[in-house]
Amino acid sequence: MEHKLLDQLRNVADVQPRSMTRQERLNRWITLLERDPTRRLNSLGEIEYKPPAERELVRQDGSPLSVAFEDAVLRAEGLKSDRLGDAMNFFELTDGQAHYAFCSCLSGRTMESGSFAQRLRNAVAETDQHAVVGAWALAGVALAIPGILYFLG
């Protein structure tokens, strides 16, 4: 077997590295935040009061968003800047998730990097938990309907 560098293979074949999934991108960001868990980072100032167009442009030096943008791997994957809108698009975050994870109204002006990592983890896990709770609630209602109809009827 002959070994070649990736650049050499690109000349011969269409070699495209696999893009990271959303979960892989989020896990990498959380790992970056956890590398120095006591580092003080700046939160984003009361983003819930800003109009959507202005909110997309919000950025803060020394924030969790700048930690993500400093990473060459995430930039190579397509993270365009450390602005909130670019981060939300790249990591597929909702307004609620971004607000919970990064807003100053919930965390104060600064917070430890490890705490931001945990908030981000909780924010994205919340979506999955809501789906599970919703499914169980729907199943409960479906099972209860025949009993309710029996008693009413």
Structural domain boundaries in the chain: 17-152
**pLDDT tens string 12-64:** 666 667 899 999 999 999 999 999 999 999 999 999 999 999 999 999 999 99
Cα–Cα distances in angstroms (integers) from residue 80 to residues 66, 83, 115, 135, in the given order? 11, 8, 24, 36
pTM: 0.72
Query: Taking a C-beta distance cutoff of 8 angstroms, is the pair 85, 57 a contact?
Result: yes
Query: Taking a C-beta distance cutoff of 8 angstroms, is the pair 135, 61 a contact?
Result: no
Q: What is the pLDDT of residue 133?
A: 55
Residue 151: which pLDDT band, with cuts at 50, 70 and 90? Answer: confident
State the Cα–Cα distance between residues 115 and 77, nearest whole angstrom. 25
**pLDDT tens string 92-142:** 999 999 999 999 987 789 999 999 999 999 999 965 545 555 556 665 556
Which H/E stretch holds residue 58?
Answer: none
